Chains A and B, each alone.
Chain A
Amino acid sequence: MENPDKAGNTRRGMHGRKFTIIGMMVLLFICAWVLGPGAETPPWAKRSYYHDTFKPFISAALQPTLTDQNQSLPDDATPFYIRVLTELANTFRYALIAMSMAVPAGIFFGFLASTTWWPDGSKSRVTKIFLRPFYIFARFSITLMRSIHELIWALFFLAAIGHSPIAACIALALPFTGTLAKVFSEIIDEQNTAARNQLVASGGKPLQAFLTTLIPQSFPDMATYTLYRFECALRSSAVLGFIGIETIGLSIKRSFENNFYQELWTELYLLLAVIMLVDVLGASLRKRLNSAPKRKHKPNLKLPDKEKVIQQLRRTAPRWKITRLLFWGSALLILIAWFPSITNIKTKPLTGSNGIMQHGERISLFLNKITPQPLRDGGTWSETSEWAFELWREPGKKALINTIAMATAAVSISALCAWLILPMASRAIANAAPLDLFNGKKSKIRTALWKVTGFGTRSFFLISRAIPEYIYAYLLIGLLGVSAWPLVIALAFHNFGILGRLWGEVMENQSPTAAKQIHLSGGTRFQGYFHSTMPESFNRFLMYLFYRWETCVREATVLGMLGFASLGLHINLSRNFSRAYDEMLFYVLLGSAVIFIGDFISILIRRSLRNSG
């Protein structure tokens, strides 16, 4: 028996889903039209391309090396494997330092950006008026911090305080603080408030209830998200190599530039291994935090002394080992990352070499250069707005449109692919007996085939997201020539992996009852996915897609630095040729304006979703 109103909603929802998918394809075509065809003279048009570039690149994948490919190195040069391992350790170290700053700052800003701990009751109105400016300040700085890509923050910081690892770490930490704060405050806001309200009803203050209920409740989500962010920090730290910080990206760039493809593959494999390790660690942590450990030994309650019983209960309390190990392990690693002198490891100082100029001198020069040119020359604000308008007309507008088109095209491609391939990666569906239902007589071959399929698809998702899009884009531009498409493919491929993970988690949290029903009435696993699992998760899928689109706009801005006419290219041009930091800032703010608008839309969407459901 179906309620007419409900039926109407379902039908509208169905049209909404079809419309969304068709709309995505139409968007993809529009973007393709905006971005135009590939490179005018693609490298493969040259006859020697296959022999000189393509074949060695591919065949080197199977022959990674640990020794230098460069034969003309002096004898006292640092051997390749030491160089690469040092850079890998640096990648890890800078990511760790950045996270050790971003997590406390993220908690602080996330706390300010949440209202769940505010005192309630009419008498607290004054306190609320006092708290509101902090709230607005926190929200604004969170969006500002994450609207600018870490690589661009790094360009600014390196220009302002000189070429030092700590500048790069701070640049990494800024957008990560913003993202962590945003996600932390959302996690806290989404918790079930039953326990919190219970404590307030028995006389606790809202802040006390916040500390003792909402914080422990959101801890598992916050911890796993932090580990995921660390994985992202590793990727970003690797990319910092492309602007000269000594991380693995630097070697990747040099090896590719010199056609040392065997070295290149070694570097890629190493980066892949480290990131996959963190990914697997994160998955196992998530599993443990979301389930209660079991007690192994039955406690002896017959001890004469009550204190002894309590002590015994405490000592034998069931706990997960990995969570403790991870906590103390990361604390130790952070300590070593900041102060390597406590061990015997030799490292370069974080502050780098000071160079010729003093810090103060550098900063004041930078501040002078970042002031819009008319203002610097003593002009008025109206002249400045004219200057900005000129930049907007040529080339700002076109660059912004190209950037958005790249991001949109990439997101559409990755969404359509991930949407189709997702069931093959699901532990519940890609299984000889889907959804744990009896599925006829067991066959070893079928079981093995499904195991291989599921594992293979999951690994494919994992590999595609493990390497940062910037590195994919860098390699693809080298192989396919300069156009928008290598960048779009790089973005799409990386996002495909991320969506696979995010959507996969949504599916795992979904109740499988309706899908089971389809199986039990004779349907196939794919019918179950497309008619039950997918429609049920659709809204959450879309939410993630929108969040990925925002990230892609930031990312597309940066990828443009590799040479396609978008915001990134102009950012790079104004920096490299004229050190025109004012123009650079203009393009950066143009990109971040898109994020601000996106953020506003996502708040509206969230609100309407929450009200409707």
Chain B
Amino acid sequence: MSLVLSNISHTFGSTQALKDVSLDIKDGEQVALIGPSGCGKTTLLQIMGTQIAPAQGSLNLLDLPPTTLPPRGLRQLRMNIAMIPQHLGLVPNVRVLRNVLNGGLGKQNILSTIRQMISPSREEKSHCFELLDRTGISEKMYDRTDSLSGGQQQRVAVARALYQRPVIILADEPVSAIDPARARDTVRLLTHLSKEEGVTLIISLHDLSLAREFFPRLIGLREGKVAFDKAPENLSDVECQELYSLRADK
């Protein structure tokens, strides 16, 4: 089992972000989290990525409980989880190569990081090139990251995630800032690559049609609760409309 969440709740101040969420996600599964703004998608992903500890409930990631791990153990767990945040978290004024190599820091000590900053080895460069080739931007390997377009920078973030050799990839709204055609391309790339590598992929999406097209399992979140957890072919239009409807009771 990749991920087991039982009865997770979380609050920020007086806002309840998640209420009693329980989920099982198997190894290699591809899951899309869908729901309106503020439904708790990002919080759920942050808990799955061990960025925040849940206020209540228990969590098992790759058969380990992250909330009880010491910093070193947590780092080792984190090496297996690649997060692609909405803002990508790339260093703007360094080369693409450097940003991809940053994915492998967890497996290095300080000295080899410094060695790598001065001059990356042939293997590191060649591995990075392969990944950039697979995401379709290998010719940008030595360009400054901020000279790339938004869609290209997303591909850098994907390559960085793959460089980490993760077991789970978490992506938070990776396609919210690009046009529909490119969004479709990126989602296809992510699902394709994770299938090839056998990596568990959990992604949050605004676009319901994209989610239905590419993911065998959809989890709908509404007001911090799981509204449905189904395969797209079992999902009715009414359920979808309800998920996004502006209810007056708020």
Contacts and interface: CB of A to CB of B under 8 A. Distances in A.
A203 B76 contact: yes
B71 A123 contact: yes
B144 interface: yes
A21 interface: no
Interface string A291-327: 0111100110100001101100110111000000000
Nearest to A290: B93
Contacts of A219: 93
A212 interface: yes
B85 A293 contact: no
A119 interface: yes
Interface string A202-227: 11110111011100110110000000
A293 B102 CA distance: 22
B90 interface: yes
A197 B117 CA distance: 19
B182 interface: no
B83 A202 contact: yes
A555 B120 CA distance: 47
A300 B146 CA distance: 22
B83 to A, nearest CB: 5
Contact of B105 (A121, A212, A295, A318): A212
Contact of A310 (B87, B126, B164): B126
B151 interface: no
Interface in B39-86: 49-51, 70-71, 74-83, 85
Contacts of B113: 208, 211-212
A480 to B, nearest CB: 49
Interface stretch (B134-142, B185-193, B217-225, B233-241): B134-142
A312 to B, nearest CB: 10
Interface in A123-153: 123-124
A120 B89 CA distance: 19
Interface in A186-207: 194-195, 197-199, 201-205, 207
B206 interface: no
Given A195-B90, A201-B83, A212-B113, A317 B102 contact: no
Nearest to A318: B143
A204 B181 CA distance: 34
Contacts of A292: 93, 143-144, 146-147
A209 B77 CA distance: 17
A213 B71 contact: no
B184 interface: no
B11 to A, nearest CB: 21
A321 to B, nearest CB: 15
Contacts of A298: 139
Contacts of A417: none
A285 interface: no
A203 B79 contact: yes
A32 interface: no
A317 B164 contact: no
Given A203-B75, A203-B76, A317 B95 contact: yes
B93 A202 contact: no
A289 interface: yes
A557 B93 CA distance: 41
A213 B142 contact: no
B174 to A, nearest CB: 14
A119 B74 CA distance: 13
A299 B79 CA distance: 34
Given A120-B71, A211-B113, A216-B93, A203 B143 contact: no
B35 interface: no
Contact of B85 (A123, A194, A294, A309): A194
B160 to A, nearest CB: 8
B110 A203 contact: no
A204 B75 CA distance: 7
Contacts of B51: 197, 201
Contacts of B83: 198, 201-202
Interface string B99-139: 00011011110100110010000100110011000000011
A198 B105 contact: no
Interface in A464-493: none
28 contacts: A120-B71, A194-B89, A195-B89, A197-B89, A199-B105, A202-B79, A202-B164, A203-B77, A203-B79, A203-B80, A203-B105, A205-B105, A207-B110, A211-B110, A211-B117, A212-B91, A212-B98, A212-B117, A213-B91, A216-B91, A292-B144, A292-B146, A299-B139, A306-B129, A307-B122, A310-B125, A313-B138, A318-B143
Given A195-B102, A208-B105, A306-B129, 20 more contacts: A120-B71, A194-B89, A195-B89, A198-B85, A201-B51, A202-B79, A202-B82, A202-B103, A202-B105, A203-B79, A203-B106, A204-B106, A211-B117, A217-B92, A217-B93, A219-B93, A292-B147, A294-B147, A306-B130, A317-B95
Minimum-distance CB pairs A-B, first 8: A203-B106, A198-B89, A317-B142, A292-B147, A204-B105, A203-B79, A121-B71, A203-B78
